[in-house]
Amino acid sequence: MKVEEPDFEYGIYSYADYLKWTLDEQVEIIKGKIFKMSPAPKRIHQKISINIASNLYNFLKGKKCQVYDAPFDVRLPVKSNKNEDIFTVVQPDICVICDPSKLDEAGCIGAPDIVIEILSKGNNKKELQVKYEVYEESGIKEYWIIHPDEQTVLIYKLVNGKYEPSRLLTKGDTITTSILEGFVLDLESVFEDEG
């Protein structure tokens, strides 16, 4: 049986549809609309991702919270957890989940506690507008946006259902979070110079 490929311009798609596709490129579904993911990111994107994920992984060893990096499906249901009722499936660069009941064989179902997105050429509008809205609506407690070229981090914290931004962080700053008590991320090491 041939699986019908999605129409990237029109249509509303669910996670059930997503599971049927065999595409040559990675996609995310946000509020039923398909978004093509950027081609393979630059090396600096990957280096930053590894630096952050490894710091989180080492800190979280033996703790309840867990860290995952892309590709990792995060399903953000609104009405029910049935695949056909889920219209947002994203693959954050890094996410931290502290509620083990949200983890299953397919990934995460429900809002992670922290989502970290590293900007790549071509995805800034999606990250800064579309995902911001869906992450806020889904109740993700912290949304970190990392700009590799500018070597900056902006952290949005959910306060009374709305995101409040931090000041712009850069080399010389450290990141701490009330979600992971005792965790400190030195941005010097995150943005270490290419060698």
Tens digits of residue pLDDT in 70-84: 999 999 999 899 999
- 74, two tokens: 């995060």
Which of 39-53, 88-102, 114-128: highest mean pLDDT? 88-102
124, pLDDT greater than 70: no
The domain 40-190 having CATH identifier 3.40.30.10: the answer here is: no
65, pLDDT greater than 90: yes
pLDDT of residue 25: 77
pLDDT of residue 184: 97
Q: What is the mean pLDDT of residues 28-32?
A: 87
More confident residue, 192 or 178: 178
